[in-house]
Structures are given as structure tokens and as C-alpha cells.
Amino acid sequence: MATLAGIVRRIRSEVGDLAAPFVDTFIGGDELSTYDLSEVNVTSVEAKVTTADPASTVELVEDTDYVLSPGEGSILLINPVYSPLRHGQTLIVRGRSEGMFTDAELETYVGDAMNQHTYGRTIKTRYRDGHGHIRYDLEPITLENLPAVEEPLVAYLAAINVLWTLATDASTDIDVNTAEGTFVPRSQRYRQLMEHISELQGRYNTLAQQLNVGLGRIEMFQLRRIARTTNRLVPIFQSREYDDTSKPERLLPPIDGDAYDDESGIPSPLYPGTWG
């Protein structure tokens, strides 16, 4: 069974956005209460203040001794004993960084990838009801019942969307040329991201075609017939198994708009069952 955490780990591996531990040390000077950490999107932070004379170590409590800004990667000391950090005191912050994207952001990409990858697909289950009649249940595909072979495909599609976000950010970078002859090809990052998106999209398309899944899968549709006598569409119903005793389910396929609509405003005669 596919799990959200497992797909998020796959995405981080695909885009190289892995979590990393960090340790920052700040020496007090009776001036600062806010310190920028070496990482952003930080989690699992542990902070403590050590004093040389007399030697002591105090574990700080979040929201009592300090306030953490995970996205910005900064810590604000709010306890008057340590704010500002005194001479002889040292602040040690230990934690982990989620990387460029937080887990919550990646979960949004996974949701979008699931909607695209499983669009219009259901799982049909055959069962017998309390009256002994055979019924069929249509269950939407979710992470809980997603086939294991399709789990990498969802991760690939989500990783593609993540890379598009990075490419949008890199698209504003321009090459730098200086009078001294220095050349910095900043736009190369954008080109490399686009090349990797193309390769990853090709890998997803190849596997999706082999499994006939995703938005580009081959589907079978029913052509709608128009009655010659009434010029009206003949109703169609959902195809059913031979032993399915449920009531017929009416289908309402979309009708494409006509580019040749009469805009004269002259009403046409309407005779139900004959014209119209």
C-alpha cells in the first residue's frame, strides 16, 4: 500500500532535496536576541545555552525561552535571562532541515499528481448484497488502494511539478558579463532544469503507456447517435456486466459547442417530438 510519507521520500530523492542535520553555535555579546540559522525549513530543533563561569548548561523550551521561525530559519530568544545573549553565554542550536520544500508543500504536489494520474479511474468490486443479488461497487482510486506498480509513477509526476516550480524561479536569472571579461552563465540552471524535466517526463510517459494509466491512457468511448425523426440525441446508459442487477445508470457525455450558432435572434418553430 502506498503511503504519503513514502512518496514524499521518493520525491526528495528524485529532486535531490534531502533533509540534512545542522548544528549552529552563537557566542553572546550583550547585543543580539535574534540569530539566523544555517538552514531554512528547519524541524526538530533543540536549543541550549552554556555558560563558562560558572560552568552550566540549560535546555531551552520553545515558546517559553525562544520562538522559532521554521521557514525563515531564525531563532528569537524571549526569556529575559538570555535576551540578549550575555557575554560568556553560548547558544547551541541543533536540528534538521527539510530542504527547499517542506513536507506540507510536497504533500500538495502529491495530491495534484494523484488527481492527474488517477483521473476518471475507479476500481470495480463484485459482491452479493443482503438479498442475494450480485452488485458492483465503484471505488475511486486513492493512495490506500493505488497499485504498487504505480507508486513510482505518482512520485515521478509530483517530482516533475516540483521541478517546474524550480524552473519558474530560475527563469528570471540572466547571464552576467563584466568589463573584465568575466562571464557567469546563470541561465544554464534553467536550461538544465528544463532538460531534466523533459527526461523525467519521458520516463513517466513510457511507463504510463506500458500500464495504460494517466491522462494519456487509451480509453474506449461510445459514439452518440442522433435520431433521424426527432434530430435528438439517443440516450445511452452505462455498460453493465451480465449478472449486474442494479438499475441502469444514465450517461451524459459532454456536447461540444457549435461554432455555427444562429445569432440572428429569430426564434425557430418548436414541435416537441418532431422538430427542435
Question: What grid cell was written down for 35?
Answer: 540569530
Q: Is the dihedral of CA 41, 44, 49, 52 positive or negative?
A: negative
- 97, 114, 147 - which closes a domain: 97
Of 121, 123, 120, 110, nearest in space to 151 by CA: 110
The predicted structure's pLDDT at residue 194: 94
Does the residue 63 lie in any domain? yes
On whether both 84 and 154 belong to a single domain, the answer is no
Does the residue 227 lie in any domain? no
Q: Is cis: bond before 70, omega within 30 of 0?
A: no
Does the residue 256 lie in any domain? no
The predicted structure's pLDDT at residue 111: 95
Q: Indicate the pTM of the whole model.
A: 0.72
- Contact criterion met (CB below 8 Å) for 227 and 234: yes
On whether both 35 and 122 belong to a single domain, the answer is no
H-state helical runs in 118-273: 151-170, 188-211
**Residues of the chain under the 50 pLDDT cut:** 273, 276
Domain of 82? Answer: 20-97
On whether both 84 and 175 belong to a single domain, the answer is no
Does the residue 192 lie in any domain? yes
The predicted structure's pLDDT at residue 44: 80
The predicted structure's pLDDT at residue 228: 87
Does the residue 273 lie in any domain? no
The predicted structure's pLDDT at residue 253: 81
pLDDT in tens, 199-226: 999 999 999 999 999 999 988 877 888 8
Phi and psi at 111, nearest 5°, equal -60, -45
The predicted structure's pLDDT at residue 6: 92
Does the residue 120 lie in any domain? yes
On whether both 107 and 168 belong to a single domain, the answer is yes
The predicted structure's pLDDT at residue 273: 47
Q: Where are any strands of DSSP class E within 19-102?
A: 20-27, 34-36, 42-51, 56-59, 66-69, 74-77, 89-97
The predicted structure's pLDDT at residue 270: 62
On whether both 115 and 87 belong to a single domain, the answer is no
Length of the chain as a residue count: 276
On whether both 87 and 112 belong to a single domain, the answer is no
Q: How many domains in the chain?
A: 2
84: exposed, middle or buried (Cβ count in 10 Å: 0-12, 13-18, 19+): middle
Rounded Cα–Cα distance for residues 51 and 62 (Å)? 19
On whether both 66 and 28 belong to a single domain, the answer is yes
- 64, 79, 97 - which closes a domain: 97
- 178, 211, 244 - which closes a domain: 211
On whether both 113 and 39 belong to a single domain, the answer is no
| H or E stretch at 236 | strand 236-237
The predicted structure's pLDDT at residue 276: 46
Does the residue 149 lie in any domain? yes
The predicted structure's pLDDT at residue 271: 58
